[in-house]
A = this chain, B = another copy of it.
C-alpha cells in the first residue's frame, strides 16, 4: 500500500478486513506509515527504494500531484510490477509500467467518518485483460458495486461526482450560512429536506424530481430571493446561473 491518507486508510481497512495480506505501508512521513501499518498489522517504510518486491499488486493511493513521480520511482528497476492507482481524474497512463490499472472508489472520505466500503461503487480498468479480471475480483471482495470503466469514462465520473458531492455539499454550506446570518435558525432544520431530496432520486430521475421557483419560472419569487442576496453578489451569481440552468433543462 503506497500512501497512508484518508483513502489509503479506508481501502486498507476494507482489504485487511477481508483477509488480504498487506505486506507493507509506504508513507512519506514515518508517523503516518507506522499508524496505518499498526492498524493493518503490516510493516512501515518511508523509502520508496525499500518497498518490498514480490507483491501481487502495488496500490498507489497518493495525492494526484505526486502520483506520476511516485509511480516512476516504484517502477525504476521493477518494470514487471503491477501498479494500480485510485484517482478519479488521472488516466491509467500516468503509471509507467506495462502492467498497470486503476481501482477508483467513488466516495467522499473524511477522517471523522467511518464508511461502509461494501456500498462504495468501485470502477476498475487495467492494461492487460487478466489484470482487469484480477482487479475486478479483488474489488468485489470489498465492494458490492464493481464496474469496469476506462480512463475516458472515469474522467466524466469524477466530474459527475464533483457535481453530486462537492457542489451539493456547498449548497448545504451556503444554506447553513444564510440561516446563521438571518434569524439564527439551526442548520438541523434543513436535514429532513436534505434527506428527502436525496431519497427522492432513488425513485425519480432528478429532472422529474425538480420543484421550486426556478422550474416553475416564478420570476416573482426569484426576484424577491435575489433581493435578499443583494449584499452578496457571489451568491446572486450562483442563484442566477443555477436557476437559468434549471429552466434550460425543463
Report A's interface with B, CB cutoff 8 A: 64-65, 89, 106-110, 112-113, 115, 119-121, 145, 147, 149-150, 152-153, 155-179, 182-183, 185, 187, 189-198, 200-215, 218, 220-221, 224-225, 228-229, 234-235, 237-239, 241-242, 244-246, 248-249
Contact = CB atoms under 8 A, between A and B. Distances in A.
A169 B189 contact: no
Contact of A156 (B170, B182, B241): B182
Contacts of A192: 106-107, 119-121, 145
Contacts of A244: 234
A172 to B, nearest CB: 4
Given A106-B189, A108-B211, A169-B206, 13 more contacts: A89-B224, A106-B193, A112-B203, A145-B189, A155-B228, A162-B225, A164-B193, A166-B211, A166-B212, A166-B214, A170-B245, A191-B201, A238-B245
A234 to B, nearest CB: 6
Contact of A169 (B174, B185, B202, B210): B210
B147 A189 contact: yes
A167 B208 CA distance: 14
A224 B191 CA distance: 33
The interface residues of chain A, by DSSP majority, are classed as helix
A183 B242 contact: no
B65 A220 contact: yes
Q: Which 3 A-B pairs rank lowest in CB-CB distance, beginning with the nearest?
A: A166-B212, A153-B183, A160-B175
Contacts of A203: 112-113
Given A198-B198, A238-B241, A174 B183 contact: no
Contacts of A210: 166, 169-170, 173
A249 B159 CA distance: 21
A109 B211 contact: yes
Contacts of A89: 213, 221, 224-225
A153 B214 CA distance: 21
B171 A163 contact: yes
A185 B195 CA distance: 24
Contact of A163 (B149, B160, B175): B175
Most chain-B Cβ atoms within 10 A of its Cβ — which of A110, A167, A195? A167
